[in-house]
Structure formats: C-alpha cells, structure tokens
C-alpha cells in the first residue's frame, strides 16, 4: 500500500523568533524605497509629472517656510501625544478606540476654564487649572469603559468607540452654550483680545511649549512602561491575565488605573489643541487624530521614542499630499493614493520584521 506523500507548499510563512535591530531597520528602509518607486510609477502614469518634483513638493509643503516647519512640528506633537496616551492601554491589550472622545472632553474642560475664569485669573494659573481639568476629564472618560470592562467584562472596543459619539454630542451642546457671536454656531476664538489661557511663546516660538510638554511626556511614559512596577504589571496583564492573577496582581485595579492614565494623556491632547493651537472648541477639534494615533502606537510597538518617527512620517505624508493637490491642481484622490501606497509598503515591512518566507527546497519537492 503506497503512502500518500505530503505536499510541501512552495512558500511557507514562518514567525521569526527574533530579528537583529539593524536587519529590522533594513527591511523598513527597503519598504520605503519600494513605496517611493511604486508611487513614482503611479504618478507618472496618471498625471505625467516628474516624480522627483512631486516629492520635492511634499517636502516644500512641510518645511518650505519657517511657519510651515512649526505647524508640521505642532501637528506631529499632537499626534505623538495621543499615541503616547494609547501606549499603556494597548500594551495591556485594552483596545482604547475612544481617544477622539477623550481629546474632546479634555478640550471642553480647557475651553470652559478659559471662558469662565479668563477674566479673573492670570494666564499661568489658567494654564495649570486647564491642565488639571483636561487630564481629569480625559481620565473620567477612560474610567467609565475600564470600570465596565473590569466589573462586567464588556467589550472595550465597542464601549470606547461609542463613548466618542457621546463626546461629540457633548461638544455640540457646549458649542451651542458658548457660541460667539450669537447665532454663529461656533465658539469663535476664545479670549482673542487678552489671550488669557493661551500657551505663551517660548524662545520666541508659539509652539515651543507644545514641543516641550510632549517630549517630556514621551520620555516619562517610556520610563514608566519600561522600568516602573506599574509598567511591569501592565505588561504581565497584557500577556496573560491568568498569569497576572497567579502572581498576585490585582487585574481589575490595573485595568482601571491604566485606562485612567491613557484617558488623562489623551485629554491632555485636547488641552494642547485648544490652549496651544486653535484656541477654540468644536466637534472637529480632535480632527481624526485619535484614530490615526492607533497606527502610530501600533507601528512603534508601544515604544514612545519610536512613535516620534512614525508620527513624523504620517504628518509628513498628510501635509505632503495636501501640497501636491494644491500645487499640481490634482484632486484629493490622486494625492491620497500616493499616501496610501507609501503606508501600504510601510505596514508590509512590519510584516516582514515579524515573519519570514521559507521556500520549498529540492528535497522537499520530491
């Protein structure tokens, strides 16, 4: 009786046990080069424009003037701050999809302090109170889904996502209460004459304070997750809740505490957006950054210093796409197609840092 031979596939996907740091960066570099090459082919095929000019326009859109440079840096810091906020929750395998809502409630708290206390307190006191209020509001918005998850085992993804819509409606309510001028359905620029509660210029730069706050926060979160006892507990709970309980970790307490920290930092992003950038509040204050920051946190594998580079890349692509569309009179679809191609290859390179392809050899083919 003949035994049927087991057919070995031509290509197998095998998970890597480990990969050298230089090799992982080489894979990412190859992915970026391939992305630029494919994008160049698509650009020339569609609009017959020299791809080098298009890439030059992307650079111009980000760093062409000193103002553009600082606006790019501001948007990068905003995205990085949210990514830092998501890092502890994601490392714990608590999928916090509610950053948009946490940003909005933090922004509401900041705007409220600026409106109601702006005429009675100096700016430095307003900034401190706004900081505490925004973090407290974001922490509360993180506490609610964490409590239900810890007590009743609810689905955190759906819960935090639904909390976004509650925050949007709450923002709409306060916009109606604070609208200025009356009937405009907007809050307008808060304290435009006095600039009470606005971030002051540091070293002559309007957004320097934003840079300092976020970079300090990035370093502190890296230390917290990597070297603190609570960071260790987060990592253990993320790996296995059973193991965490076995070694005596109070899982419910860790879940609630970590989500409050995550929500507080995302609420701080709302503080930065209102007091440090737009000086107003609306339903578009978060600007979709809460969802984009998920990519930042995930690609950086929750390493906050790695998030700096990922956030910079995403902001560069976004602003570059806008510049391409305006400079060459292209529609948004063409510019976003380039962004999509580059992101596709970058995400693909992350696959190859975790997995490798094994081809069938001659002996296995027999």
Over residues 253-294, the pLDDT tens digits come to: 999 999 999 999 999 999 999 999 999 999 999 989 999 999
Q: Helix 332-354 to helix 21-47 angle, to the nearest 10 degrees?
A: 160
**162 confidence band (pLDDT: 50, 70, 90):** very high
Answer whether residue 364 shows pLDDT above 60. no
Q: What is the pLDDT of residue 363?
A: 58
Q: What is the mean pLDDT of the chain?
A: 89
Token pair recorded at residue 303? 């390493």
Nearest in space to 134 (alpha carbons), one of 82, 87, 192, 94: 82
DSSP per-residue codes, 92-157? TT-----HHHHHHHHHHHHHHHHHHHTTTS-HHHHHHHHHHHHHHHHHHHHHHHHHHHHHH---HH
pTM for this prediction: 0.88
Percentage of the chain beyond pLDDT 90 is: 62
Q: What is the pLDDT of residue 44?
A: 81
Higher pLDDT, 301 or 271: 271
Token pair recorded at residue 69? 């440079």
Residue 118 CB contacts under 8 Å (≥ 6 apart), including other chains: 126, 190, 191, 194, 196, 197
β-pair partners for 358: 12
Higher pLDDT, 137 or 342: 137
Residue 289 CB contacts under 8 Å (≥ 6 apart), including other chains: 78, 79, 82, 99, 100, 103, 269
Q: Please tell me which of 47-51, 64-68, 268-272, 350-354 the model is most confident about, judged by mean pLDDT.
A: 268-272
Higher pLDDT, 2 or 163: 163
Q: How far is CA 144 from CA 76, 138, 235, 257, 365, in A?
A: 29, 10, 22, 11, 57
Give the SS3 label for residue 307: helix
Give the SS3 label for residue 41: helix
Q: What is the pLDDT of residue 251?
A: 95
Q: What is the pLDDT of residue 346?
A: 81
Half-sphere exposure of 203 (CA within 13 A, CB side): 6
β-pair partners for 205: 202
Each residue's pLDDT tens digit, 52-108? 888 888 888 889 889 999 999 999 999 999 999 999 999 999 999 999 999 999 999
**48 confidence band (pLDDT: 50, 70, 90):** confident
**366 confidence band (pLDDT: 50, 70, 90):** low
Percentage of the chain beyond pLDDT 70 is: 95
Least confident of 26-35, 230-239, 299-308: 26-35
**352 confidence band (pLDDT: 50, 70, 90):** confident
Asked if residue 226 lies in contact with residue 150, where contact means CB atoms within 8 angstroms, the answer is no
Residue 50 CB contacts under 8 Å (≥ 6 apart), including other chains: 44
Q: What is the pLDDT of residue 270?
A: 96
Higher pLDDT, 355 or 226: 226
């Amino acid at each position: 009786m003949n035994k049927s031979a087991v057919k070995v596939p031509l290509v197998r996907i095998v998970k890597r046990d480990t990969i050298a740091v230089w090799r992982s960066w080489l894979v990412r570099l190859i992915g970026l080069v391939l992305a630029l090459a494919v994008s160049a082919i698509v650009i020339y095929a569609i609009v017959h424009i020299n791809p080098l000019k298009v890439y030059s326009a992307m650079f111009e859109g980000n760093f062409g003037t000193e103002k553009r440079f600082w606006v790019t840096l501001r948007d990068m810091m905003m995205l990085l701050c949210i990514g830092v906020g998501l890092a502890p929750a994601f490392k714990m395998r608590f999928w916090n999809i509610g950053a948009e809502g946490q940003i909005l409630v933090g922004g509401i708290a900041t705007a409220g302090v600026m409106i109601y206390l702006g005429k009675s307190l100096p700016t430095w006191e307003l900034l401190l109170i706004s900081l505490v209020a925004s973090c407290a509001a974001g922490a509360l918005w993180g506490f609610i889904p964490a409590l239900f998850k810890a007590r009743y085992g609810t689905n955190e993804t759906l819960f935090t996502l639904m909390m976004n819509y509650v925050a949007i409606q709450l923002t709409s309510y306060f916009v109606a209460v604070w609208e200025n001028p009356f009937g405009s359905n907007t809050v307008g620029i808060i304290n435009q004459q006095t600039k009470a509660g606005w971030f002051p210029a540091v070293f002559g730069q309007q957004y320097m304070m934003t840079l300092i706050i976020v970079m300090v926060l990035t370093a502190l979160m890296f230390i917290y997750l990597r070297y603190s006892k609570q960071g260790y507990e987060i990592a253990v709970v993320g790996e296995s809740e059973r193991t965490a309980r076995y070694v005596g970790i109070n899982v419910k307490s860790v879940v609630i505490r970590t989500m409050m920290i995550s929500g507080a930092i995302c609420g701080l992003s709302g503080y930065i957006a209102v007091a440090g950038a737009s000086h107003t509040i609306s339903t578009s204050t978060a600007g979709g950054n809460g969802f984009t920051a998920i990519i930042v946190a995930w690609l950086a594998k929750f390493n906050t210093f790695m998030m700096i580079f990922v956030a910079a890349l995403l902001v560069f692509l976004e602003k570059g796409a806008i510049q391409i569309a305006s400079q060459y009179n292209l529609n948004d679809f063409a510019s976003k197609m380039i962004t999509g191609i580059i992101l596709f290859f970058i995400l693909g390179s992350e696959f190859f840092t975790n997995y490798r392809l094994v081809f069938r050899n001659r002996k296995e083919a027999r």
